[in-house]
Structure 1
Amino acid sequence: MAEVSLIDRNLSFSIPAKHCRGRAVRLGPVLDDILIAHNYPPQIRTILAEAVCLTALLGALLKHEDAKLTLQAQTESGVISLLACDYRDGGLRGYVQFDSERLVQQPLEPSLMALFGKGYLAITFDLPEPQGRSQGIVPLEGESLTAAVQNYFTQSEQLPTLVRVAISDDGENVTAGGLLVQHLPEGEEGRERLHVRMDHPEWEHVEVMGGSVKSAELTDKLLPLEDLLWRLFSESDEVRVMSGKPCIKACRCSDDHIREVIARFPKEDKEEMIGEDGAISIDCAFCSKKFSISAASLNN
């Protein structure tokens, strides 16, 4: 019972004296639910687990239940051609398109460049009006997706940010743990931005403490996230921890959703989709569910 409460959840926290905020997440069964939809080889399973964990961390920054966060990586010449994950109100989903023939030529721990080649990372925030949609795009550079996300905050948001993610895979079950810490402008969150300094003494202190987190601590199912945060930051400062949302697999495919998508196509395109059985067949890329929609049931 205790283990269930320690995993598939995220936490929000702040360090008021240092004007820092953060998110911590640990995923287990929800990752297995997402990964089991496809028979991914180990290299792809690991990179998708990292991407889903990053998506959970970024999504936890959202303040509105109907807001959505999308993380997408696309390449021109990589083994992976597309990686897509999204988050909405605690719901996670993700999938990867890759070249299986080229993947077998890679080692069990390929570099980011080997998997993605020349590519970019797009992070999209879909917020309620009047904010609307915003997107940041950065090159897929560095040693990992995690490094690319950290680079996004430095380049696009100009916000000092530390991101750490660790993956544990025993061949049957995958566990991911992540930590995100940001230095806010002086004053409470939401006030006018007064400064952004990557070398501010407050931030340097928190960055060192957060950077000391060990991979084993992030993925330890028996270590409460609260205890981990206090272990990292509370020696010299107050840490305020707020309960976060449970994380669940939440693919949004359904007969109704598929019908809505098909309805957006011109009549001629819909007619070309119809198979010999008189139905339009659709496979969900995220969860591998198959849908067969009778053409006669559609309003042309």
Structure 2
Amino acid sequence: MSATQETWFDQPLVFTIADRHVRGRLIRLGPVLGTVMAAHSYPPVAEKLLAEALVLTALLGSTLKGEDGQLTLQAQTGGGPIELLVCDYKDGELRGYLKFDAERLAEVGADPTLFALFGEGFLAITFDQASAERYQGIVPLEGASIGEAAEHYFEQSEQIPSLIKIAARHDAEAGCVAGGLLLQHLPEGEVGRDRLHVRHDHPEWAHARTIAETLRDAELTDPATSLETLAWRLFHEDEVRVERGRFVSRGCRCSIDYFAGVLSKFPEGERREMADEAGLVNVDCAFCSRIFPISLDEIAAHGGSA
């Protein structure tokens, strides 16, 4: 069994506690974080924030049904040093990046609050599936962490009592490691059932939440502890059904072919204005930190006139 299988890096554990009408997901990201971070040179504070946001994106994205959905998470500043945070999940592929003011970020210290990073910003979570209507919820960036801000999203936008715990750290051997737990209460214990009778003070939910809140950051990020072990430690008094979710990989859909197709939709005059003296349109991908030079001829080949 590989190290990834033993530690369950980059693969969610999906579990349900039927008797308490609770569902949940655990995930620990390792190699995929290393791949994402390798494309950038973020300071530790920014790297930790992005790692936590990627965990949240993977937790939420893994709830999508089918293979045609995309989950996008965007946090935007309200005057803080973090100007923009964007992550998305599609077909098991995860990506993300940050835009920030380096000088101001250096002033917030090693363990800043969410307000110190964003000011009075907002968090937007978008579920987009081809088989269903696109849905977006926007909430203020409130709470001690981006996980707590996402809890507000579920309370306000979906009326689902939820608990989200996220932790990230730098491991000497594994590099950047981050883990997360998403726990939710479902009335009648089934996905898709009527949510009119959801109560945040329901005794079953209160019991499950109290137990889940004992989960420590060190456990979430410990590569030596499998996610199945964590679920057993927390809920061994109940019958817990578990299954492995889909592996998560770093994915960037950027390519010359993709960008050429997008640029071909612009009028010819605008494309020529975008091009440099060599006749190249240089597209900068913030996700993979690469510049894609695309010739006007390549763009024309996708349907735009030369």
TM-score by length of 2: 0.94
CA distance in 1, matches of 2:248, 2:286: 20
Unaligned 5+ segments in structure 1 are none
CA apart distance, 1:194: 4.7
Distance 1:264 1:196 in 2: 47
Q: Mapping of 1:155-166 within 5 angstroms?
A: 155-166=156-167
The one-letter code matched in structure 1 to 2:106 is: V
Per the TM alignment, residue 187 of structure 1 is displaced from its structure 2 partner at its CA by: 4.2
Seq. identity, %: 53
Q: Aligned equivalents of 1:292 and 1:189: distance in 2? A: 46
Q: Where does residue 133 of structure 1 map in the other structure?
A: 134
Other structure's SS at 1:193 match: coil
Question: Is residue 186–residue 195 contact of structure 1 (8 Å, CA) maintained in 2?
Answer: no
The answer to whether the 8 A contact 1:18-1:206 is kept is yes
Aligned residues of 1:3 and 1:221 also touching (Cα < 8 A): no
Q: 1:39 aligns with which of 20, 41, 49?
A: 41
Task: Determine whether 1:295 maps to 2:305.
Answer: no
Answer yes or no: is the 8 Å Cα contact 2:68–2:91 preserved in 1. yes
Cα deviations by residue, 1:230-256 (Å, 9 ceiling, x for unpaired):
110122x10000110111001111111
Match of 2:92 in 1: 90
| C-alpha distance in structure 2 between counterparts of 1:82 and 1:44, whole Å | 11
Query: What amino acid is aligned across from residue 70 of structure 1 in structure 2?
Result: T
CA distance in 2, matches of 1:86, 1:207: 27
Cα displacement string for residues 157-211 of structure 1 (whole angstroms, at most 9, x for unaligned residues) = 1110000011111478110010001000124222333511000001000001111
> What residue number does 1:63 align with?
65
Residue 260 of structure 1 aligns to which amino acid in structure 2? G
Structure-2 residue corresponding to 1:254: 255
Distance in 1, matches of 2:109 and 2:60, equals 29
What is the CA-CA distance between 1:83 and the residue it aligns to? 0.3
1:231-250 correspondence to structure 2 within 5 Å:
231-235=233-237, 237-250=238-251
The answer to whether the aligner puts 1:193 opposite 2:195 as a matched pair is yes
Answer whether contact 1:282 1:292 (CA < 8 A) is retained: yes
Give the aligned partner of residue 23 of structure 2: 21
Equivalent-residue separation in structure 2 for 1:221 and 1:3 (angstroms)? 9
Superposition deviation, residue 264 in structure 1: 3.0
Matched, 1:150 2:151: yes
AA paired with 2:192? G
2:261 is the counterpart of 1:263: no
Does the 8 Å contact 1:124/1:134 carry over to 2?
Answer: yes
**What RMSD in Å do the two structures reach over aligned CA positions?**
1.4
Moved over 4 A (4+): none
Q: How many residues align?
A: 298
Q: Secondary structure at the match of 2:254?
A: coil
Q: Summarize deviations over 1:250-277 as a string: whole Å, max 9, x none.
A: 1111111111221233333222210011
- Any stretches of 5+ residues in structure 2 without a counterpart? none
SS in 1 for 2:276: coil
The structural deviation recorded for 1:132 is 2.2
TM-score, normalisation: structure 1: 0.96
